[in-house]
Structure 1
């Protein structure tokens, strides 16, 4: 049931092997000569989720305690917004939980404020690295220091409504460039005659701009926090969507009327580009008559470019102020790398990032489809981009709102570009 590789951590603890310590301030250091591997310790673990995920964590903690009976784990959970509200309060008071489920968009903010433990001294020792490919390990790196370990991953993809297409005698998109995809969307929209459309204006998503910039060899935001595009490049991007906004894509008014569902999970659009872990939510919205979806690579902007990347569904981090960094690292390793973790969580946290956990997970058909999809795009997967800047979520939402206004026709491209750069200036210089 348990990974043989994981016993390395137990051996290191049991023999009192010299471990490079990060200390409570997360600044690295020498081995702690006072460390007692059999000491009774208590760790606080915090995660977001619901009752289902809470029960899975309870099972995982019980399995962890079979191996490490001296480490007591007190787990608490909240909904996503409430989780981060509490973390902000705790951060201000210097009392963050020892181990935290963590969202990628907050990693830079917390690490640059010295709130997270440097995990590099534990990599390859307490935290196993063999089951984690380098492109996954690098996801948790900020300013050349590892602060988070990804529990699971997802990638950008193109979903298609296979039933809608088949019921109307339409062919699925066969792949190709953005121009090819737009032409296919137009054919589906014409066939739909106002009842359904080929898709939506993909230039309303900041992720598509990021993929195009990566295809050109750049980034959305560089490691130093500067934008990897200027006003002219954003203008070009938004202007490329004008053809879709002029009648190919689903009208914005229709989208507003369908809320809280979207065009795709209302069977009003035949395709949608988004993260590949959205499939279960789409099927739930579409209803029982829909049992499967198509999932394939998004359009190609530059042939041979490694524009796609694996994004963490979530990570695990350790507070810089933990009194028990070795025990906390042992818990993180178990939650990420153990066979027990894969067996218990399955894909509840996303497709497991650890090869050991993934091999132990029981995959439902949709999860198997995502696994096969991510294997199919291996040649297009590049290194993860720099960890999102502080305030990225604000800019992502602003981009979405401006895309909506472009679709309504209430703003011109030039006006939208000026407004976005004004907002970005505030965020980057706050």
Structure 2
């Protein structure tokens, strides 16, 4: 079993050579090869990711994978490595930044590998579209997830207040939050964190209004009133005690461990469906999952299936063929799927999904059930963000005081 404390402290994790390769072709690709793998996430994600890396090493003689785990400094560190010509061979991206990186030429197009090195016949319908920018597949979606609201069921039970549901409007949610904070009656504990700077939550809010963060032409898809209404909503909620104040929210680095729900300062969190197990691991009371508040029952839900994360191969990778082999293994190998579970979200390979589903625990099953439950309410996936969207997000949605966006 990996030591999680050392895993996070060292950042640079194992690499090992394995016994035998499955075919002469793979052996030729893998001989004396070293790859760097870079991602962010919880200790559980690191343990699972490195577990798959070790399986891959065991199937490819001479391969060594050096895993590097980022934290709140992930994005500036990745940018620095790319600019300095020292990019990891394979790195993790999230949907809000994926297209921006792709359009900067940092990601190697995978089209020539698809159906050959990277098997696609068992992928869920539309998965490759979620990794496509300007007609090229520049990253492999690793999972499916959706926006969600997580809540401490015991807190609602003790307060005698009905928890949010798929029919809860934003106005209802505000009233519930204010009442819940009062009912809890504990110092430094509020109903929910202040989500005004969560760009994904704002995006759902906009979709409910028939708008988008960015339109198909790359231009901003909302106006000043939308922004005023969004920020005004959370400002009012904070003033009325429904969500954490600025000094508490400033501690949130958009990591699970720093969210007010995890620190004990809130009993709800606006997050992503796949994050439920990670939040449950650091929360004493049972957590439940539902969808985000809605504008009205007749308006769009604001939900859509999204790629939990992407693996992209650096355009400067020394051995892109081997990197493509790793991505294929990560997504399509049954044993790899068993190691990964649903920590990053619902598997995109249908065979892997069928094998993994019976093996997951009750908490992870809630995420699977949630993804299934919203099938009739999801809308189309938004268009790719334009070049420069990362800078826009940093300025418009920078957490208080500052940090990088590590949402998923």
TM-score when scaled to structure 2? 0.75
Matched, 1:278 2:275: yes
Secondary structure of 1:47's aligned partner: strand
1:264 alignment partner in structure 2: 261
Shift of 1:145: 1.4
Q: Please name the residue that 2:67 is paired with.
A: 76
Structure 1 equivalent of residue 360 of structure 2: 363
Q: Residues 52 and 339 of structure 2 are in contact (CA less than 8 Å); yes or no, is this contact kept in structure 1?
A: yes
Q: Is the 8 A contact 2:52 2:330 kept in 1?
A: yes
Note if 1:188 corresponds to 2:144.
no
Q: 1:130 aligns with which of 104, 113, 121?
A: 121
The CA RMSD over aligned residues, in Å, is 3.7
User: Are the counterparts in 2 of residues 98 and 328 from structure 1 also a CA contact under 8 Å?
Assistant: yes
Residue in 1 that maps onto 2:93: 102
Q: Secondary structure at the match of 2:28?
A: coil
1:295 maps to 2:283: no
Q: Does residue 227 of structure 2 align to residue 234 of structure 1? A: yes
Distance (Å, rounded) in 2 between the aligned partners of 1:173 and 1:66: 47
> CA, structure 1 residues 337+394, in 2 after alignment: closer, same or farther (shift >3 Å)?
same
Q: Distance in 2 between matches of 1:256 and 1:368?
A: 30
CA distance in 2, matches of 1:209, 1:153: 20
User: How far, CA to CA, are the matches of 1:112 and 1:80 in structure 2?
Assistant: 24
Q: In the alignment, which of 21, 28, 47 is matched to residue 39 of structure 1? A: 28
| 1:328 paired residue number | 323
The equivalent residue for 2:55 is 63
Partner of 2:371: 374
Distance (whole Å) between structure 1 residues aligned to residue 178 and residue 366 of structure 2: 27
Match of 2:111 in 1: 120
Partner SS, residue 380 of structure 1: coil
Match of 2:10 in 1: none
Deviation at 1:101, TM superposition (A): 3.4
Q: Structure 1 residues 353 and 45 mapped into 2: Cα distance closer, same or farther (>3 Å)? A: farther
Deviates more, 1:359-368 or 1:252-261: 252-261
Q: Aligned pair 1:384/2:390, yes or no?
A: no
Superposition deviation, residue 322 in structure 1: 4.1
For structure 2, the 5+ residue unaligned runs are: 1-20, 402-408
- Tell me, yes or no, if structure 1 residue 214 matches structure 2 residue 203: no
Deviations 1:153-199, CA, capped at 9 Å, x for gaps = 33211112111121233322343322222233343344345755443
Q: Distance in 2 between matches of 1:229 and 1:355?
A: 36
Question: TM-score with structure 1 length normalisation?
Answer: 0.72
Does the Cα contact within 8 Å between 2:218 and 2:386 map onto a contact in 1? yes
**Distance in 2 separating the partners of 1:400 and 1:46:** 28
Of 242, 246, 258 in structure 2, the residue corresponding to residue 249 of structure 1 is 242
- Aligned to 2:121, the other structure's residue is in SS state coil
Segments of structure 1 that go 5 or more residues without pairing to the other structure are 1-9, 15-35, 405-430
SS of aligned partner of 2:112:
helix
